[in-house]
Amino acid sequence: MDKILVSQCLYGGEPVRYDGRSKAETDPRFLKWKEEGRLIPVCPEVSGGLPVPRSDAQRQGARIVSRAGEDVTWAYQKGAEEAVRLAKEYRVLCAVMKEKSPSCGSSLIYDGSFTGTLAEGRGLAVELLQEAGIMVFSENQLDQVEALMRR
């Protein structure tokens, strides 16, 4: 059975987001895959040792910096490596990761200015997953995930 790595905030359950709010995905296809046991949830930021709630953070080039200016790249790097380890352990078909996150975003992330401005870019976990050869989709691309699973 094909497995899919997913952002834990999409999977639901224990809160993992920086603000403690839920972003559980409700698309019926996602819920079906969950029920079938295909989904492998991971929150790179929690896996990296960060608490819930925590300060929001944004990418500034290779670094990830909290709103207060603290360099938290080490935690994001550790969590991104854990996401890759899980993807390999479960030999996932692909990953579905939460858009706009400095870890999980796959096409859009905040631009590092903390002004609410989005820019093209990838989160650190997605960067490492793609470097490891894992196909990554966002929660807005479930049509593509479905097509991939049908192949």
Binding to ligand SF4 by residue 73, rule CB under 6 A?
no
Tell which residue, 94, 113, 88, has the closest CA to residue 102. 113
How many CA atoms lie within 13 Å of 96's alpha carbon, on the beta-carbon side?
Answer: 29
In whole angstroms, the minimum distance from the beta carbon of 8 to ligand SF4 comes to 5
Q: Give the per-residue contact string, 38-57, with ligand SF4 (x = CB under 6 A; - = no).
A: -----xxx------------
User: In the set 58, 101, 106, 138, which binds ligand SF4 (CB under 6 A)?
Assistant: 101
Burial-class residue 129 by CB neighbours within 10 Å (0-12, 13-18, 19+). Answer: buried
Among positions 3-32, residues that touch ligand SF4 (CB under 6 A) are 7-9, 16-17
Q: Would you say 40 or 104 has its CB closer to ligand SF4?
A: 104
In whole angstroms, the minimum distance from the beta carbon of 44 to ligand SF4 comes to 5
Say whether 113 sits in a helix, a strand or coil. Answer: coil
Binding to ligand SF4 by residue 104, rule CB under 6 A?
yes
Tell which residue, 38, 44, 35, has the closest CA to residue 7. 44
